[in-house]
């Protein structure tokens, strides 16, 4: 039996929905897809998130969005 489910993740400045499956018989997890539900940042044509201050591509981690071209930095509320 395979169970499919979706999880909503909340990294800094974004809401992502991940779709997973779990095979109950084998214990195998499978990542199926990820989509952007909501974002505070604009995106370019390649899907890169852009700095709201200068328009450069942001460096993203789950707890931080940082621009290397200016001093913009957005920390997740749980990262302080």
Write out the residue range of the structural domain in which residue 11 sits.
2-75
Phi and psi (nearest 5°) for 62?
-60, -30
CA–CA separation, 7 and 13 (whole Å):
17
Strands of the 64-67 sheet, one edge to the other: 58-61, 64-67, 73-75
Q: Against a cut of 0.75, is the pTM above it?
A: no
Q: Is residue 80 part of a domain?
A: no
Q: Is residue 47 part of a domain?
A: yes
| Segments of 1-80 assigned E as strands | 2-9, 14-23, 28-39, 58-61, 64-67, 73-75
Residue 44 is predicted with a pLDDT of 93
| Tens-place pLDDT, residues 26-79 | 999 999 999 999 999 999 999 899 999 999 999 998 889 999 999 999 998 765
What is the count of structural domains for the chain?
A: 1
């Amino acid at each position: 039996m395979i169970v499919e489910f979706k999880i909503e993740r909340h990294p800094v400045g974004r809401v992502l929905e991940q779709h997973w499956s779990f095979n109950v018989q084998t214990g195998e997890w499978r990542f199926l897809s990820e989509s952007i539900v909501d974002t505070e940042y604009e995106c370019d044509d390649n899907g890169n998130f852009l700095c709201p201050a200068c328009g450069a591509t942001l460096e993203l981690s789950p707890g931080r969005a940082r621009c290397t071209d200016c001093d913009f930095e957005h920390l997740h509320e749980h990262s302080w």
